Structure 1
Amino acid sequence: MPATPPFRLDDKIAVITGGSRGLGREMAFAFAEQGATVVVASRKEDSCIETAKEITAATGATALGIGCHVGKWADCDRLASTVLERFGKIDVLVNNAGMSPLYDKLTDVSEELFNKVLDVNLKGPFRLSALVGEQMVSAGGGVIINVSSTGSVAPRGDIIPYAMAKSGLNAMTLGLARGFSPTVRVNGIMPGPFLTDISEAWDMEAFERRAQNDIPLQRGGQPGEIVGAALYLASDASSYTTGTIIKVDGGSAYGAH
């Protein structure tokens, strides 16, 4: 083996949900730069198609945008079948799509909202992993990456349904790593606070004060800082890594309060 493990993704077909914005977009561009054919999936098909065009223009890699509401199993089924019909395989699946609506008090959380949060953050990733994972087992190999959150281990009072769903995603990651072994590797990334477009709605002065006290690196993450962990897990560089959840959070989840 080479002294430096290969991070290349040549000839790989990678599907990334929530791939048109935020951390998913960063991963999509990074995978394409490393030679992968990238399928960008999210609820807004127009954004997916536009992002795919931008990826191809920037990297020369083949990219495809597909609309998919991961909270709906029929959409998950259609996404998997469309990619398999087009490319014949899926080598990397990144379950990145998520949502975390805030609320003032717990009784403001309606049954509809509760179900929607769990559908998008947990039910959809389960269905996609089941469909794609079985295909990977039949093909002799593959990689699934579930994008969790430090909220799953250090939940605040205003994200409880989201934290519950992401905690379930952590459990699913460990279970699938055993269930799809030994040919398919299943791992997770646990991001902390990242300064993506979502952070535009934050009270940044309050966040920066909190970062000084609660985050050892004293800042939020830049979107591109997710790429190293994602490439490691997607590539052969992590060939002996499965059932692992990598925390990328500036140290914020340790000793959180």
Structure 2
Amino acid sequence: MEFEGKVIVVTGGSRGMGRAMVEAFAARGASLVIASRKFEACEALASAVRAQHGVKALPVACNVSSWPDCDALVQAAYGEFGQVDVLINNAGLSPLYPSLDDVSEALFDKVIGVNLKGPFRLSSAIGTRMAAAGGGAIINISSIAAIRPGPHELPYAAAKAGLNAITEGMAQAFGPTVRVNAIQAGPFRTDISKAWDAETVATFEQSLALRRIGEPEEIVGAALYFASDAASFCTGAVLRLDGGRP
């Protein structure tokens, strides 16, 4: 119960890696704020962790690309619990597009909004409150695409590169009491992976040192580390968690 008395906010928390992190922190006694666009999915998971682990869990509908939605999430979290100890910016998306010249302004803005704009707003608002309260941790879920961009994910890669940048910048802004780190994830079996064809999966499996795609639960260890006192001297770090991508 190492996180008993702690409040963890997880965006994109109802599915995939977000769900895995919610369940892991709940199993360790944390209170959870589960945020995603679909309230019903958040409520279903909140009910499940309440029943299984006896913890408090607040579901919140939030489109993180919306500044007002981000502000409403902050108000809901502090209104319910009076504190936030860990913010995990996990929400993300990477829509497919046929070619670069077919990327619409709406698609570009949506990708930047979810993957960069939202984390910036939430980290700024919650990080400021954490610093005033004397401490906390922010964990950004980045992507290997930030440093290994491919032609079919450039808006996403650019957004995640920006997320790496604000990770380091906010570590400086909110230190010494608030730690800000990023997990730079490789290919994981999440909703994004449902769009991969067999050739893409085979390429990952052949190129990665571990010869397989990651499972959502495999992000948990890194998240627990960054959220805990074990990472007390770690801030501004970007950890590659990619199965050994060359």
TM-score under structure 2 length normalisation: 0.97
> Separation in 2 of the partners of 1:27 and 1:97?
12
Q: Of 88, 94, 113, which residue of structure 2 is paired with 1:119?
A: 113
> Separation in 1 of the partners of 2:230 and 2:238?
16
Q: Of 217, 235, 238, which residue of structure 2 is paired with 1:224?
A: 217
Q: Which amino acid aligns with 1:225?
A: E
Q: Of 175, 178, 182, which residue of structure 1 is paired with 2:172?
A: 178
Q: Is 2:233 aligned against 1:234?
A: no
Aligned partner of 1:155 in structure 2 is: 149
Shift in Å, 1:208: 4.1
**CA contact under 8 A between 2:94 and 2:192: conserved in structure 1?**
no
User: Helix, strand or coil: the match of 1:94?
Assistant: strand
Shift in Å, 1:8: 1.7
User: Helix, strand or coil: the match of 2:233?
Assistant: coil
Q: Deviations over 1:176-235 (max 9, x none)?
A: 0001000000000011001124323322x3234213431010000011111000000011
Aligned partner of 1:4 in structure 2 is: none
Q: Of 69, 77, 83, which residue of structure 1 is paired with 2:63?
A: 69
Aligned partner of 1:206 in structure 2 is: 199
Q: Which amino acid aligns with 2:177?
A: T
Q: Which amino acid aligns with 2:214?
A: G
**CA contact under 8 A between 2:14 and 2:35: conserved in structure 1?**
yes
Q: Is 2:161 aligned against 1:167?
A: yes
Q: Of 72, 92, 98, which residue of structure 2 is paired with 1:98?
A: 92
Aligned partner of 2:6 in structure 1 is: 12
Q: Of 53, 61, 64, which residue of structure 2 is paired with 1:59?
A: 53
Shift in Å, 1:65: 0.6
Aligned partner of 2:73 in structure 1 is: 79
Aligned partner of 2:82 in structure 1 is: 88
Gaps of 5+ in 2: none
Q: Which amino acid aligns with 2:65?
A: G
Aligned partner of 1:28 in structure 2 is: 22
Moved over 4 A (4+): none
> Separation in 2 of the partners of 1:106 and 1:120?
19
> Separation in 1 of the partners of 2:153 and 2:195?
15
Q: May I ask how many residue pairs the two structures share in their alignment?
A: 246
Aligned partner of 2:124 in structure 1 is: 130
Aligned-residue Cα RMSD (Å) equals 1.1
Q: Is 2:169 aligned against 1:187?
A: no
Shift in Å, 1:141: 0.2
> Separation in 2 of the partners of 1:200 and 1:115?
22
